[in-house]
Structure 1
């Protein structure tokens, strides 16, 4: 792992391989270790950059609210440090929200965009209330909140089959500090709708959804790519396609990168 300073905050990242730059952004309660199985394959012909977002992994907290724009700024700081002018972005869940914020703020740096189990829609009113409840829940019982949150990311069909893997994901999530969790929940709650990125950006775009995703309703999230040139790939399982549909995802991403 390497580090760069941004506003006196330590940002952790990795840089592997050579070729087209690809930035992999993890989701809420995750860190860059989520990409460890994919990076060796993807880095054969690409330069793979993974980054711990604010308050996750080895990256420090920046404040009481980590907006998607704040996270986009630290991503830009890493790319500037590495002198990378353009990159393909792959964002899982919250990482997708950050990739969209980056695309909005720095469109000239985009070469391609993959939303993995993510959405360009803002939170609904109900979802915002759920975020507020989640803040109270994690402050009240940190460990129970994380264990329940992680289990719900997997489709019911896979919870027994992937029991050992899910336990490992929970252990990783338990390394996320309370401040990082709360700041991210607050940041996701206030994020903007960015459907216009999918509608207007002229670089290749790909949306990957799970049909049994308990976090993002599959049918509802098809609406965001209507009348756009965004490609769609649908997997049969839940919110954790990098685990539940690992082999298929490798193929999809390699083909997407090759097409750019």
Structure 2
């Protein structure tokens, strides 16, 4: 389904009945990443998957998409569907957007799940990596995207999940260059929201991979120190919903129920 937002169309799916769960994908992903998880969760719950700005079937609205702008688009969908209370699950960049919504609307959040994501802003080194990525993407977008996807997995898992990686690359290339650049620029400017892990009223869970090539495992542990955040960790990479599919689904179902 599509919904108008600031001169573009936002794509979303809405399936099942019951407690609402909002699923937000990561960078170079789209709502299709949730197909298996959404199929299971929607047997008992209402599941909404949204293509974030510049990804999947949702258009771009500028040359930078801040996490706040992406959260605005998500709010447009939630308001249209007249959903007041919900669980929100965000993978990677989707986690950054989830945090913005959780900060804005704490009374609306029943539970927050950050999957392979962090509350901390980009380090100077990470900002430089994003800047270099943008420059390479401008000259050889296909190669840049395909390399980025493969590098998200634990090296030992690349062959094991070759079929999934092929599908991910195909879906990632649906993101236009403008969407790639706008999201990268937006992630550079995001705020430190670690405070939400300490003082927010809703329950929280973080799912991480010890071999995540994007996030610092020890830094995540520091963020949740002295909090009531549930930690779920696996020995794999940045793509827990693929590398640890059945375990992630069980954790989500338990967290929600």
TM-score w.r.t. the length of structure 1 is 0.97
Distance of 1:257 and 1:92 partners within structure 2: 16
Pairwise CA RMSD: 0.7
Distance of 2:72 and 2:85 partners within structure 1: 15
Q: Does 1:60 align with 2:59?
A: yes
Q: Does 1:257 align with 2:252?
A: no
Distance of 1:14 and 1:187 partners within structure 2: 24
Distance of 2:200 and 2:159 partners within structure 1: 41
Distance of 1:213 and 1:3 partners within structure 2: 34
Q: Does 1:242 align with 2:241?
A: yes
Unaligned 5+ segments in structure 1 are none
Distance of 1:37 and 1:240 partners within structure 2: 14
Residue equivalent to 2:193 = 194
Distance of 2:173 and 2:132 partners within structure 1: 19
Q: Does 1:22 align with 2:21?
A: yes
User: Partner of 2:192: helix, strand, or coil?
Assistant: coil
Unaligned 5+ segments in structure 2 are none
Q: Does 1:46 align with 2:45?
A: yes
Distance of 2:163 and 2:5 partners within structure 1: 36
User: Partner of 1:197: helix, strand, or coil?
Assistant: helix
Q: Does 1:222 align with 2:221?
A: yes
Q: Does 1:176 align with 2:175?
A: yes
User: Partner of 1:154: helix, strand, or coil?
Assistant: coil
Distance of 1:138 and 1:102 partners within structure 2: 30
CA displacement, residues 10-45 of structure 1 (integer Å, 9 cap, x when unaligned) = 000000001110000000000000001111111111
4+ aligned runs moved over 6 Å, structure 1: none
Residue equivalent to 1:109 = 108
Range 160-169 or range 15-24, more displaced:
160-169
Paired residues in the alignment total 257
Matches within 5 A, 1:87-98: 87-98=86-97
CA displacement, residues 42-95 of structure 1 (integer Å, 9 cap, x when unaligned) = 111110000000000000001010000001111110010000001100000000
Distance of 1:221 and 1:149 partners within structure 2: 22
Q: Does 1:167 align with 2:182?
A: no
User: Partner of 2:36: helix, strand, or coil?
Assistant: coil
TM-score w.r.t. the length of structure 2 is 0.99
Distance of 2:26 and 2:126 partners within structure 1: 17
